[in-house]
Amino acid sequence: MSVELSAEEIDGVSYILNNAVFIGFQELMVNGFATEKLAPIYEMILDDTKISSVERLLLSMILLDLRISRWPSHWEAMIEANAKRRFVLDILTDKIWRLIHTRPLPDTERDRLTALVVRIEEKLGAPKRAKSSIIANIRKRAAETTRREG
């Protein structure tokens, strides 16, 4: 039996695969290179305007995993620089959701992540009135993770 996909379906599958490959690669990077000793080097690299957007994205994600104090400013810059790039904003949102679902977080960290998700969702066109439901959903998921992992 042969199944033919429409161009729209192929685009959807391609988008999902690209997202999965990027997330998988990012997880490998975190597992292999996310050390506090390298964090100052990563921050120096991020301050260089000549690095690619992919490098900037990967390093920003590593700094989030390490919870380096400046990670929110790097993420805010990523969101602003990629306001029209759905793929990048989806990757950032996926990263935040994975973190919320897998690690108990202090309230301050959860609140920072919540604020970033709200900003990303606004860039993606979510109405301002959706903010309260986004925040409630994040708090609910974070509480579940804390109960499960805590």
Cα 60 to Cα 80: distance, rounded to the nearest angstrom? 13
Cα gap 114→138, rounded to integer Å: 7
Length of the chain: 150
Instruction: Write out pLDDT tens, residues 123-149.
Output: 888 877 777 887 777 778 777 777 777
Distance CA 65, CA 58 (A): 11
Residue-wise pLDDT for 44-89, tens only, equals 999 898 999 999 999 999 999 998 888 999 999 999 999 999 999 9
What is the pLDDT of the chain when averaged over all its residues?
87
Q: What are the chain's domains?
A: 7-149 (1.25.40)
